[in-house]
Amino acid sequence: MFKTEWYYNLIKPAFAPPDLVFRPVWIILYITIFISLFLYIKAPYKNKSFGYILFFTQLLLNLMWTPIFFIMHNIAYALFIIVLLDIFVLLTIKSFYKINKYSGLLLIPYFIWILFATYLNMGYLILNR
């Protein structure tokens, strides 16, 4: 969608998957992310506001990364955003797990994927300076 000639001319880090992998992975991850949120919402606890703040912060960071990387072509700033995303997803997992363990566990594949994406982002930055 946002991939341009700029992106295709970048030197890719080792283990960079083919483009066709990203769409199905993200579809599955977004489904699990929102099931996780649904379970959190339905949990019978009253004070869940901190978990909501963490969740929507990580969601915002997630949405920010794509235009920063693919439209602005700012690999360094994208790396900063994705590192923040890593931190906020980990905090969200911990917060959600305390309220509903399945809600927290459902976010683990997402966390693993964005750690891999962080590696890729770092690789793009190093290889394309």
**Predicted TM-score (pTM) of this structure:** 0.93
- For residue 87, tell me if it sits in a domain: yes
Give start and end residues of each alpha helix (H) in 68-107: 75-99, 101-105
pLDDT of residue 99: 96
* Alpha carbon distance 22, 32 (integer Å): 15
Residue 104 lies in a domain: yes
For 38, list phi and psi in degrees, rounded to 5. -60, -45
Residues 42-67: pLDDT tens digits?
Answer: 999 889 999 999 999 999 999 999 99
Domain assignment present for 10: no
Q: Are 58 and 92 in contact (CB under 8 A)?
A: yes
Per the structure, the count of domains in the chain is: 1
Look up residue 40 and give its two tokens. Answer: 């959190």
Assess contact for 89 and 110: CB atoms under 8 A.
yes
Tokens linked to 90:
């980990």
How confident is the prediction along the chain (129 residues), in pLDDT tens digits per residue? 677 899 999 999 999 999 999 999 999 999 999 999 999 999 998 899 999 999 999 999 999 999 999 999 999 999 999 999 999 999 999 999 999 999 999 999 999 999 999 999 999 999 999
Range of the domain at 86: 49-129
